[in-house]
Structure 1
Amino acid sequence: MRVEIWSDIACPWCYIGKARFEKGLAAFAHRDEVEVVHRSFELDPSRAKGDTAPVIDMLARKYGRTREEAAAMEANVAANARAEGLGYRVEGRDHGNTFDIHRLLHLAKARGRQDELLALTYRANFAEERSVYDDGVLLALAVEAGLDADEARAVLADPEAYADDVRADEREAAELGAGAVPFFVLDRRYGISGGQPAEVFVQALEQAWKDRSATALTDIGGDAGTCDAEGSCEIPRN
């Protein structure tokens, strides 16, 4: 069974959702027969490369809030992340264009190191004092994930390298009706939006495994945190 996950490194609910999905997958009896593929989705594709801004300031401008209110919004998301055992810095993070990150993740996919690079990039972005919008940081993360430094450097230097792969993922997301991430698709039969609890993923995996004759995409799960194509991130209602 294949699980495809559309996400963006700038999306906190993608970071949280990945951890929750992995907990659900670990509890699934047929986990060794599940292939996980990460696909690209940009939250801020119109932002120019190199144009970064502090996350708190960006949120304050976007939502018309004070800086204190924006920090409180981030603190709420941080609480969800920390409940999953994830590091999360409310202050000191940047927001920017993620196209180069996605291109590098496609190189990592081709070399069998995609999940390793994604995990390292999430950690650098949300938990550490490293900006993933800096090519030097990205190159270091690529090498840490097991990629060849010269090959990764060449991809970062060529804006067209793996660009078509990123755009193809984004077209597929639109065709599937995914307007927000994280978005999980199980064997192209079941769709799950948002960073759902681990139990929801377990139930969805079991349902998809049992019902492998379905052909239409069915939405599973209730309200959960997502980030949409406008870059807005929502906290799920209780």
Structure 2
Amino acid sequence: MRVEIWTDISCPWCYVGQARFEKALASFPHRADVEVVHRSFQLDPHRTKGDAEPIIGFLMRGKGWTREQAQANEDTLSRQSAALGLKYVMGRDHGYTFDMHRLLHFAKEQGRQRELLTLLYRANFAEERSVYDDDERLVDLAAEAGLDADAARKVLADPSAHAEDVHADLREAAAVGATGVPFFVLDRRFAVSGAQRPEVFTQALTKAWESRSSLPVVAGAAHGDACGPDGCPVPH
């Protein structure tokens, strides 16, 4: 079973939602048969590199909140994170994430996507130093995730590297109806929107697993040639 998760590194509820989902997955009886695919989403697609700003100011400007409302939102996120054993630094920055998504696609090719995603979340939400507009900071995180530092640096230096992969994820997000993140799609059968409680994810995983069905195959035809999305013939 495949679970696709659309997230953005700048999204604090993605940070919380990812931890809640992983908690549910850890206790799911069929977790070894669940493939988790992380997909890119941009909450602030018009933001450009070098345009980071303090989160409180961003919330006041973007949502029209008062400073007290923005601070209350940060307080809530801090409590929710702490309940999961996660550190949450209030007063962090908000900024450009497209390069991080490109680097995550590079990490996916190397089988290190989850490791890098975890480190990016930690750097953005649990550490004082800003993760935005600092390519060498991203290179350090890539190396910590087990990637080659020079290769990661080359990806960041080339704006076209994995850019289409990110755009493809954004198109897929629109196709599945994801207008906000985190957004979880289970086997393209069920969707869970938002940072739900672990028990909600457990219910969704169970329902998706139980709804899986395989069509009976006529005797003698199981290994016949067939056409598939990639051409003909395709053993399927």
TM-score normalised by the chain length of structure 2: 0.88
Q: Distance in 2 between matches of 1:89 and 1:192?
A: 27
| Letter of the structure 1 residue corresponding to residue 106 of structure 2 | L
Match of 1:61 in 2: 61
Match of 2:187 in 1: 187
Does the CA-based 8 Å contact 1:48-1:97 persist in structure 2? yes
SS at match of 1:42: coil
Shift of 1:130: 2.4
Q: Distance in 2 between matches of 1:125 and 1:139?
A: 14
Does the CA-based 8 Å contact 1:130-1:137 persist in structure 2? no
Give a deviation string over 1:36-82, Cα, whole Å, max 9, x none. 11000001110111111001111112222332331121111211111
| Letter of the structure 2 residue corresponding to residue 123 of structure 1 | R
1:96-107 equivalent positions in 2, closer than 5 A = 96-107=95-106
SS at match of 2:29: coil
Q: Which has the higher strand share?
A: 1
Match of 1:128 in 2: 127
| Letter of the structure 2 residue corresponding to residue 43 of structure 1 | L
Give a deviation string over 1:162-200, Cα, whole Å, max 9, x none. 000000000000011110100001111111000010011
Q: Distance in 2 between matches of 1:127 and 1:168?
A: 29
Identity over the aligned pairs, expressed in percent? 66
Match of 1:114 in 2: 113
SS at match of 1:86: coil
Give a deviation string over 1:80-115, Cα, whole Å, max 9, x none. 111111110112x11111000000000000000000
Structure 1, unmatched stretches of 5+, are 215-238
Larger mean Cα displacement after TM superposition, 75-84 or 136-145: 75-84
SS at match of 1:17: helix
Match of 2:157 in 1: 157
Q: CA RMSD in A?
A: 1.1
| Letter of the structure 2 residue corresponding to residue 2 of structure 1 | R
TM-score normalised by the chain length of structure 1: 0.87
Q: Which runs of at least 4 in structure 1 moved beyond 3 Å after TM superposition?
A: none
Whether 2:13 is the aligned partner of 1:13: answer yes
Match of 1:83 in 2: 83
